[in-house]
Amino acid sequence: MFAFDREEDLAKIFARFFRETSFDDLPPAVVEEVKKQVVDFFGCAVAGAMKPGPVQVRGLNLHNGGAQEARVWGPGVKLPVAYAAQCNATAGHALDFDDVHDAVMHPGVISMSTAMALADYREGMTGKELIMAVALGAEMIVRMNLGMHPGNPVIPYGWHTTSLNGNLVSANLAAKILGLDFDQTVFAIGLGYHQACGNGQTTKDGGFAKRVGPGFAVRNGITAALLAERGLTAAINSFEGEWGFVHTYMFDDFDREAVIAELGERWEAGNVLCKPYPCCRGTHNFADAGIYLRKTYDIDPEQIERIDCLCGKGTLNLLGQPLSVKAHPKTPADVQFSCAWGVASGLAKGQATLKEYSDSEEGIFNPEIRAVAAKIATMEYSPDMDPKNPEVSKYEGAKVTVTMKDGAVHSVYLPSAKGCADNPQSYEDVVTKYYGNLAYAEVPIPETNGRKIAELCADLEQLDDVRVLNELMVWEHPEHRAEL
């Protein structure tokens, strides 16, 4: 059992937790969940590699070059480790299809991209070490969110917490992988805090910058650890000092006990979920609702008169309004963060796949989906949709009512979505999604590479050196080289 001084700053507690935890401390169920998250992230990175965001980040970093320390997935060019991690993180997060936790953030993009780049830099890492890294990274980033604004959804406060928290988490994880001592680790977290940023305004404005935030975080986190290794000092009380994270970023609206409760005993890493739909997790129950209504009542989309939706407070703020944008999207970012699009896709097509969210005539310019979306008359807040138990989950319910032209009314209320903690995807489900991601990619990974990655991830704890996965995530293609 992990023992710690409860009076210490959270930076010191997390530093000790990372340093003192080993693979044998992980429950078997957590190990199995992490293996899902690992194979899932590789598939998301292949599918997202040639999308806006990854293309620009990779192109700039390849142009700048530098020390050949870690591989960039796709072209296989080696870059300074922090910048290779940035490229890979951006690819994995681009489609908003990477794993998520009900505390509202994406854990895997931070820990996976940090660990895999450092595996090259350090010249080796076992599968057990990778599993431990992913679990530890998830534990810290999730618990940070569990402490934020207790009893309220975190979305309306404007932070993209994957990016914000990810700076500190990546720094702590990089320090562990690099073998830094305790003081250096605390300074690394302090240097991560010194760079902490990430806001949600870009999602409101339809920009692609949200895709690159986690890449900035891991670039900053690894840089922080490397600087601490070289002797640079920083804040010691990064969380609870007078101008620490809790005061400066959270305005002291923070539940410390929620962060440290049962640390090392209850593993939030086992509650990280692999997404079934390529959009913000907060929209998933609306996609579920559209799919359910179409299949249950055999709905003909052309016979729909109007659609009315109810959502929670946080959902309305980011994902529900303005309806003039959410139901009439102009960019892929608009639909990735739209409850209206989830409902319309489910009702029009009976599914919500990468195709429905693509920047194409099959996706955001699909006339059938847009026609259904235009029939959404209301997207309104109802307190009945707010979380029933915010201490357990900060996600919100969805209610969708469809009125048909013949007067029939069909309605469904969903408190949670497919793929959530009480209905998780199996390893087989995740592998099916993984192969679907490979098939979707504009630049295909060789079939043998894709199959081998899935096989190795299934028995990841037996793998002697995860660098073989980095090697399999390299495939030459002229479109990659054109960026140089």
- Prediction pTM value: 0.90
- Please state whether beta strands 398-404 and 304-311 pair in parallel, antiparallel, or not at all (unpaired): antiparallel
For domain 281-414, say whether CATH 3.40.109.10 is its number: no
Contact 74, 63 (CB under 8 A): no
Cα atoms in the Cβ-side hemisphere of radius 13 Å centred on 206: 15
In one letter, which amino acid is 180? Answer: L
Alpha helices, H only, 298-446: 313-315, 323-326, 332-336, 339-349, 367-373, 427-440
Enter the tokens of residue 138.
């998830």
User: In which band, very low, low, confident or very high, does the pLDDT at 1 lie, cut at 50, 70 and 90?
Assistant: low
CA-atom Rg of the chain in angstroms: 22
Question: What was the pLDDT predicted at 393?
Answer: 60
Spatial distance between the Cα atoms of 182 and 310, rounded to a whole number of angstroms? 49
Q: Tell how far CA 437 is from the center of its chain.
A: 16
Structure confidence at residue 136 (pLDDT): 98
Q: What is the pLDDT of residue 482?
A: 46
- Average pLDDT over all residues of the chain: 94
Q: Quick one: what percent of the chain has pLDDT higher than 90?
A: 85
In the predicted model, is pLDDT for residue 154 greater than 50?
yes
Please give the pLDDT value at position 391.
58
Per residue in 430-455, pLDDT (tens digit) is 999 999 999 999 988 999 999 999 99
- pLDDT tens column, 197-249: 999 999 888 889 999 999 999 999 999 999 999 999 999 999 999 999 999 99
Task: For residue 156, say if its preceding peptide bond is cis, omega within 30 degrees of 0.
Answer: no
* Token pair recorded at residue 330: 């102009």
| Rounded distance between C-alpha atoms, residue 12 and residue 215, angstroms | 25
CA 207 to CA 351: how far, in whole Å?
25
Across the range 15-31, mean pLDDT stands at 97
CA distance linking residue 289 with residue 406, whole number of Å: 21
Structure tokens of 210? 């949200």
Given a cut of 90, whether residue 151 has pLDDT beyond it is no
Q: For residues 214 and 87, is the Cβ–Cβ distance under 8 A?
A: no
Q: Using CB atoms within 10 Å of the CB of residue 351, give its burial: 0 to 12 exposed, 13 to 18 middle, 19+ buried.
A: middle
In the predicted structure, residue 60 carries a pLDDT above the cut 60: yes
Please give the pLDDT value at position 484. 41
Give residue 394's pLDDT: 61
What mean pLDDT do residues 45-73 have? 96
Q: Given the structure tokens 């692609």, which residue do they identify?
A: 208
Maximal CA-CA distance, the chain: 73
Closest CA to 104 of 387, 366, 308, 301: 387
Asked if residues 89 and 431 have their Cβ atoms less than 8 Å apart, the reply is: no
Task: Give which of 74, 28, 24, 3 is closest to 482, Cα–Cα.
Answer: 74
Query: For residue 223, what are the CA distances in angstroms to 81, 191, 232, 306?
Result: 9, 9, 11, 52
pLDDT tens for 251-306 read 999 999 999 999 999 999 999 999 999 998 889 999 999 999 999 999 999 999 99
Q: What digits encode the pLDDT tens for the residues 360-405?
A: 999 999 999 999 999 999 999 999 998 876 655 667 899 999 999 9
Q: Is 477's pLDDT higher than 70? A: no
Residue 481 has pLDDT above 60, yes or no: no
pLDDT digit string, tens, across residues 65-106: 999 999 999 999 999 999 999 999 999 999 999 999 988 899
pLDDT at site 390: 63
Q: What is the pLDDT of residue 437?
A: 96
Query: CATH classification of 10-271, choosing from 1.10.540.10, 1.10.4100.10, 1.10.630.10, 1.10.3720.10?
Result: 1.10.4100.10
Span(s) in the chain for CATH 1.10.4100.10: 10-271
CA distance to 187, 327, 334, 484, per residue, from 62 (Å): 30, 38, 29, 6
pLDDT band, very low/low/confident/very high, at 153 (cuts 50, 70, 90): confident
Question: In the chain, which segments carry CATH 3.30.1330.120?
Answer: 281-414
The contacts of residue 305 (CB under 8 Å, 6+ apart) are 375, 403, 404, 405
